């Protein structure tokens, strides 16, 4: 199980890992200026903190929520191969072997991984053919 990570900072932020029990709670320092009003970290701030690209941060944040790589690719509207490439590259940059280690290292370095996700896609408008068929 994961142990508590302590820091010299007075302000602490508790982040519970998805699918982990109450015994797997980490205490990590909140990086000043790296969160939005709702406690959500921006991809640019998180990427800068971890020295990875914004897209790699987005992939990491979604993997941290427990999404499989195929779902990550759909959410980000990229191919599965591209999502895998982003994941592999961020593992190399963080010097880890898998997503569990990547999430752990990111939290140790002060990232919150609280990205809100991409903005919702607008509903596609019905085609003229579909509306004529309904009439």
Number of neighbouring beta carbons within 10 Å of residue 49: 17
Note the pTM of the prediction, 2 decimals.
0.61
d(CA 118, CA 129): 30
**How much of the chain, in percent, has pLDDT values that exceed 90?**
45
| pLDDT over threshold 80, residue 20 | no
pLDDT digits (tens, 9 = 90+) for 64-119: 999 999 999 999 999 999 999 999 999 999 999 999 999 999 999 999 988 888 87
The overall average pLDDT reported for the chain is 73
- Cα-based distances in Å from 119 to 1, 5, 9, 85, 122: 34, 32, 33, 23, 9
Under the banding of pLDDT at 50, 70 and 90, the label for residue 133 is low
The correct answer on CATH 3.40.50.410 for the domain covering 34-117 is: no
Pairing between β-strand 12-16 and β-strand 25-29 as defined by DSSP bridges: antiparallel
Per-domain residue ranges for the chain? 34-117
Q: Which residue has the higher pLDDT, 126 or 9?
A: 126
Q: Please report how many Cα atoms fall inside a 13 Å half-sphere around the Cα of residue 94, on the Cβ side.
A: 31
Quote the CA–CA distance of 57 and 16 in Å, as a whole number. 18
């Amino acid at each position: 199980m994961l142990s508590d990570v302590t820091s010299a900072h007075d302000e602490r932020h508790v982040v519970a890992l998805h699918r982990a029990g109450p015994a797997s709670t980490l205490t990590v320092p909140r990086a000043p200026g790296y969160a939005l009003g709702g406690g959500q970290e921006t991809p640019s701030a998180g990427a800068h903190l971890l020295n990875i690209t914004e897209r790699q941060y987005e992939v990491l944040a979604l993997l941290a929520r427990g999404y499989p790589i195929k779902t990550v690719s759909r959410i980000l509207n990229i191919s599965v191969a591209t999502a895998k490439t982003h994941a592999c590259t961020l593992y190399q940059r963080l010097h880890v072997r898998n997503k569990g280690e990547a999430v752990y290292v990111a939290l140790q370095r002060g990232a919150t991984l609280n990205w809100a996700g991409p903005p919702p896609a607008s509903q596609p408008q019905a085609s003229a053919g579909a509306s004529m068929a309904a009439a």
